Structure 1
């Protein structure tokens, strides 16, 4: 349900093969009788992001645009809300889980829902790219003057031609269990994560 955090007790409803395989693995572990813990990790960002990922793709597009002096980078729909968590915080969560006595399922995320478009703006700003980012699905984003009515950063939304419904418009983890049972919380802010994604991409030969 949009607007609130998703607890571990929420009924799983995967929408594709990837989610189905994750749920099947979770159920196998929980039914095995093993002393085991499943970490349900939300949207991972940070150094090492593959080019197939949302921000890996954007970073590579920005690098190419800057090298080739292009003024536009194309992206898929960025209207959905995601719970972005840095890969280094995920590594610390795995370490904490490995030495804990916790079992069952524990969410690992930032606990905050951020619009993908706003996160993309952070990466664009880190790159210094001054062109436009266009979305293939719902909207086209163009540079706009700051001021009233421009709540999504220096972008002006314009209707696009091919609307595509976002299958999962909202993801936000309830991370209270991770805090209480693992003593874990995030340390790396999203802006730093995306800045590091850009630095890694910019240094690629």
Structure 2
């Protein structure tokens, strides 16, 4: 049986990936630093997985963890667009330096495959078309427009553009330090693997949701943030006007994608992993309130924006389907009842207000 090392393997996505690989007959080794912001107490690990505690920047720990490993799934990273804008060294150190140390360790080990978690954040704004249906290379929104409450992405003539699914050939347009670090991770892995003759794939994850998210971590996914607020009797916080659109993909579908990428002949490219559907953030907030039995908690639409946020981005997943056979099976609207039941059984602290205060204190919310 192949032995697979999952960095960040005790985290939200890592635990689901481990379960998927175990079901496919892999021996699974989890490598994790157990950062308090990310991990609850106690951490529930999949039965049958081996655990190695260590920081991805610790070469000695990695050398030990990589012994006898056939493939690596690299998930270890600091995650949070807003936080990355003021804890820059933390994000660059964990994400980019950590990946560099991992790659050096892999070079000294007999590892044939690596799959790295990239992010939809590298796109900046997604794809758009103008009123005539022609594709437009939309840039990032201007601060002056955002400060007067003009949230839409506009073309050269000032007319609003229509968002459409974003494919992998869209040029990156990095809007946050987090996005910068994820793009650096992606490129480092693909460049390294090509030089060393390894099989490598980067998966650009869209908004991942499901049971097991760190509800006390205010910098985790937006859906978990909404759930933690509502479950504590607070209105979910929505920035801008709430009409920005995102793609939400279930963590079990994401786990399947990682297993498919690890086992496929596909190599040397980045692939979108999303649901292929788009939802407005305001609608999602209302859906979460409804699922948790609190439809009276109408979202608080702030009319303010956060540095690093983009307006619209949702996935074209046709390339992943062709290359991996990836087909998501769980829709957001059909999964929220199960998600709400899990949230209601958890013990956590709602830190959404603290996050907002931290961003406002640094001038990162306008």
User: Shorter-chain TM-score: which interval?
Assistant: 0.7 to 0.9
Question: How far, CA to CA, are the matches of 1:92 and 1:9 in structure 2?
Answer: 23
Aligned residues: 175
1:117 aligned partner:
282
Distance in structure 2 (CA, Å) of the matches to 1:202 and 1:84: 21
Alpha-carbon distance in structure 2 between the residues aligned to 1:194 and 1:86: 10
- Taking a change above 3 Å as real, the CA distance of residues 130 and 9 of structure 1, as seen in their structure-2 partners, is closer
CA distance in 2, matches of 1:74, 1:174: 28
Deviating 4+ runs (over 3 angstroms): none
Residue 88 in structure 1 maps to residue 252 in structure 2: yes
TM-score by length of 1: 0.79
* 1:74 Cα offset (Å): 4.1
Q: Secondary structure at the match of 2:202?
A: strand
**Is 1:64–2:200 an aligned residue pair?**
no
Aligned residues of 1:45 and 1:193 also touching (Cα < 8 A)? no
Partner of 1:76: 238
Structure ID, larger Rg: 2
Q: Is residue 13 of structure 1 aligned with residue 173 of structure 2?
A: yes
CA distance in 1, matches of 2:178, 2:306: 19
Cα offsets for 1:21-52 (capped at 9, x unmatched): 01001111221213201111111011112222
SS at match of 1:61: helix
Is contact 1:85–1:110 with CA below 8 Å preserved after alignment? yes
Give the conservation status (yes or no) of the 8 Å contact 1:76–1:137. Answer: yes
Post-superposition offset of 1:171: 1.0
Q: CA deviation at 1:185?
A: 0.6
Structure 1, gaps ≥5 residues long: 66-71, 139-162
SS of equivalent to 1:6 = coil
How far, CA to CA, are the matches of 1:174 and 1:130 in structure 2? 32
> SS of 1:36's equivalent?
strand
**What is the distance in 2 between the residues matched to 1:30 and 1:169?**
29
Over residues 29-78 of structure 1, what are the superposed CA-to-partner deviations in whole Å (9 max), with x where a residue is unaligned? Answer: 2212132011111110111122223222221222211xxxxxx5141323
Cα distance in 2, alignment partners of residues 63 and 116 from structure 1: 18
Contact 2:238–2:282 (Cα < 8 Å) also in 1: no
Residue pair 1:80, 1:116 contacting (<8 A) in 2 also: yes
User: 1:197 deviation in Å?
Assistant: 2.4
In 1, are the aligned partners of 2:227 and 2:288 still within 8 Å (CA)? yes
| 1:67-120 residue CA offsets vs partner (Å, 9 max, x unmatched) | xxxxx5141323310011000000011111111011211110011211111122
What TM-score results when the alignment is normalised by the length of structure 2? 0.45
Unaligned runs of 5+ in 2: 1-126, 129-162, 348-366
| Structure 1 counterpart SS, 2:199 | coil
Root-mean-square deviation (Å): 1.8
Q: What's 1:195 paired with?
A: 337
| Counterpart residue number, 1:169 | 311
Q: 1:130: Cα distance to partner?
A: 3.5
Distance in 1 of aligned mates of 2:295 and 2:261: 43
Query: What is the aligned partner in structure 2 of residue 158 from structure 1?
Result: none
Deviation at 1:136, TM superposition (A): 4.7
